Amino acid sequence: MSTNINNTKAIVLILLGMTVFAIQDTLIKLTSDNINLYLIYFVRCIVGLIVIMTYLKVKKIPIIFKTYYPKLTIVRTIAFFLGFSLYYFSLSKLSLALAVTLFFVSPFCVSIFSMLIIKEKVGLRRWSAIIVGFIGVYLVMDPNFKDFNVYTICPVLCAICYAFTVVIQKRTSDKDSVFSQILHIYLSAMFFAIIIKFTLSNVSFDQDTVKSYYYILREWEIDSFLSFFYLITIGFTGVIGFFCLFTAYNVGSPSAIAPFEYIIILWAIIISWIIWGDTLDPKAYLGLTFIIMAGIYTFIRESKLNKELSINKPLR
């Protein structure tokens, strides 16, 4: 192991980063009754860009917007924006604990996309872990088809989109820096949010549609100082979370520290119960156990094989 590896520091950063993301997701859910989703996106991006560029200036790191992979960058930013639009929308319909749990199908999706896009070999044991993980997701979703909550699909679709972006990011990381890739995410999200605002404002919807999708269709306005405070905090927590996770993966061994990302599920369960009185049912807890066990097995297996982990970027 390299002398530059500091797993203890990396684990602390992972725990801090996922705690910060749990706070961010909580605030997004709290604001979902008052503020348009894409206004949240827009303000988050402005705050994020200000913080990141200030940091780069202070550290005298070049601010580079150029990408050496324009087509892949466009695809990556669209997939990221679409995925997390679905995830954040699901927070207005699902409990925080359920949405976060379903999102953690992403490690298994990363394995599949790694095989398809960057031709990484996936053996029988890894496929077994993937299958167990998806069984866990099935149990959490509980698709009985008589009373199926279609919104449970949103975090899973987000995980698929996110896994796709992670693999593309791995493909482009040889020339595009981490900071450039984050800037691309923030700038594209601002652009997409503005396009969606002006597009939707020129379309008429019936009352049932407006009621069902009010989180997206409501006007862009900040109704109180508390909402404004939440928006600014969401922006800061996003940046802090990304910094913690990217730094963790730079100083630590991915296979040793990645399982600690599951702490966000524990936080989500605790926060959901304290604030909203929500909890998972017994079948969902069984599914959650399958997801975590399969994910940890995948990481341990990769460590024993001394391979570079496909998922060598944060799960957010």
3-state secondary structure labels for all residues of 161-213: HHHHHHHHHHHHCCCCCHHHHHHHHHHHHHHHHHHHHHHHCCCCCCHHHHHHC
Cα dihedral: 123, 128, 129, 134 (round 10)? 130
Which residues fall within 8 angstroms of residue 287, CB to CB, at 6 or more apart? 101, 135, 136, 137, 138, 139, 140, 141
Please, what is the average pLDDT of the chain? 84
Tell me the two tokens of residue 138. Answer: 């099935």
Straight-line distance from the first to the last Cα atom of the chain, in angstroms, rounded to the nearest whole number: 26
pLDDT of residue 312: 46
Residue pLDDT, tens place only, 199-241:
998 888 888 888 889 999 999 999 899 999 999 999 999 889 8
pLDDT of residue 41: 92
282-306: average pLDDT: 75
Residue pLDDT, tens place only, 244-278:
877 786 677 665 676 777 888 889 999 999 999 98
In this predicted model, which residue has the larger pLDDT, 110 or 183? Answer: 183
pLDDT of residue 2: 43
In this predicted model, which residue has the larger pLDDT, 251 or 15? Answer: 15
Cα dihedral: 265, 102, 18, 10 (round 10)? 100
What b/e readout covers 89-124, taking b as 16+ CB neighbours within 10 angstroms? bbbbbbbbbbbbbbbbbbbbbbbbbbbeeeebeeee
CA 99 to each of CA 64, 103, 165, 200, 256: distance values in angstroms, whole numbers, following the listed order = 34, 6, 19, 26, 25
| Residue 27 and residue 237 in contact, taking contact as beta carbons nearer than 8 Å | yes
Which residue type occupies 198?
Answer: F
pLDDT for residue 117 is more than 70: yes
pLDDT > 70 in the chain, percent: 87
Q: How confident is the model at residue 295 (pLDDT cuts 50, 70, 90)?
A: confident
307-311: average pLDDT: 44
In this predicted model, which residue has the larger pLDDT, 68 or 107? Answer: 68
| Residue 280 and residue 269 in contact, taking contact as beta carbons nearer than 8 Å | yes
Q: CA 227, CA 221: separation in Å to the nearest integer? A: 10
Tell me the two tokens of residue 122. Answer: 């996936």
In this predicted model, which residue has the larger pLDDT, 144 or 263? Answer: 263
Q: Among the ranges 66-75, 251-260, 282-291, which has the highest mean pLDDT value? A: 66-75
Q: How confident is the model at residue 35 (pLDDT cuts 50, 70, 90)?
A: very high
pLDDT of residue 299: 65
pLDDT for residue 311 is more than 60: no
pTM of the shown model = 0.84
309-315: average pLDDT: 45
List the alpha helices (DSSP H) in 59-152.
70-90, 96-103, 106-117, 124-141
Q: CA 100, CA 93: separation in Å to the nearest integer? A: 13
Which residue type occupies 245?
Answer: L
Which residue type occupies 90?
Answer: S
Q: CA 111, CA 103: separation in Å to the nearest integer? A: 15
Nearest to 100 by CA among 29, 191, 188: 29
In this predicted model, which residue has the larger pLDDT, 129 or 158? Answer: 158
